A = this chain, B = another copy of it.
Amino acid sequence: MSNIEERLLPVGIIQHTFSDDVETNRTRNEQSIVTLAEEGARLIVLSELHDSLYFCQTENVDNFDLAYPIPGDFTAFYSRVARENEVVIVASTFEKRACGLYHNTAVVFETDGSICGIYRKMHIPDDPGFYEKFYFTPGDLGFEPIETSVGTLGVLVCWDQWYPEAARLMCLKGAEMLIYPTAIGWNPDDSDDEKRRQRDAWITIQRSHAVANGVPVVSVNRVGYEEDPSGQTSGIDFWGSSFVAGPQGEIITECSESEVEERICVLNLSRSENVRRWWPFFRDRRIDAYGDITLRYR
């Protein structure tokens, strides 16, 4: 390990099912946070939109009732929980920025309950069952890491995970780990082979961001079946499989596909120093030849 100071960070991850009752979801989230904090977690990551069902299965204007301003009820609740448990929390919310203007936003709380920073989901999906372009305006804050007492966090959200550009930009600005709150699952009508390919691809590409950038990746998904209120599709089987990978992309812990779980995993942040010495990918980037990355198509 040469002369590198060891930095250990116990990270708690919460893989839950959710109901249509916000108060119930919040209460269960708080119980898990209390448990993980008691067990020593200093950073706790929840999944995407963890105060509600995944409401994007249909386009319904009534669902805008689920949005909260920042600051507001949402931040008041998780601010208190962070302060009382003295943990850093990465939470996720449906942000009402103004009348008719909404985002899918991650909020990071400091151990004293203050807000360290927010990240507005930059890449917004839209496919059958995931009608996010109806609800969320694409983020306008760019790819900016958030400084906290436990490290510099590269917080991204779900669909962002398919974009190596997002991970790279976070790490080029000093993110020490990548964090992905997520809500992804299977169409129950798909074949088992197709389901395997989808889940494997989802794990593979997030591990690859660890490899390309020499940082750990924390990905937290919801779990369980949620029906499509419109009845048009067979609903979504959220595939869980929340995981943490180290800076060589190695899996450190991986949750099940179907169970509610909360886990602690200890990250050794000093390994990035070692890995980047041996795999100095940042040294050899051909920045003179990357300009066309900003084109839609060449």
Question: Beta-carbon contacts of A103-136 to B below 8 Å, as 1s and 0s?
Answer: 0000000000000000000111101000000000
Chain B: minimal CB distance from A211 (Å): 5
- Asked if A282 lies at the interface with its beta carbon under 8 angstroms from chain B, I say yes
Chain B hits for A208, CB < 8 A: 164, 204-205, 207-209
Given A207-B208, A250-B200: A122 in contact with B289 (beta carbons within 8 A): yes
Number of A residues whose C-beta is below 8 Å from B? 52
In the bound complex, do residue B281 and residue A163 qualify as a contact, i.e. CB atoms below 8 Å apart?
yes
Given A163-B281, A211-B204: A294 in contact with B297 (beta carbons within 8 A): no
The residue on B at minimum CB distance from A142 is B289
Q: How far is the CA of A124 from the CA of B284 in the complex (A)?
A: 7
Question: Beta-carbon contacts of A18-52 to B below 8 Å, as 1s and 0s?
Answer: 00000000000000000000000000000000000
Which of B143, B159, B200, B205 is within 8 Å of A289, CB to CB? B143
In the bound complex, do residue A163 and residue B278 qualify as a contact, i.e. CB atoms below 8 Å apart?
no
Chain B hits for A224, CB < 8 A: none
Residue numbers of A with Cβ under 8 A of B are: 122-125, 127, 138, 142-143, 159, 162-166, 168-169, 172-174, 197-198, 200-201, 204-205, 207-209, 211-212, 248-250, 278-282, 284-287, 289-298
A-B residue pairs in contact (CB < 8 Å), sample of 7? A122-B286, A162-B281, A169-B290, A173-B292, A174-B298, A207-B208, A287-B295
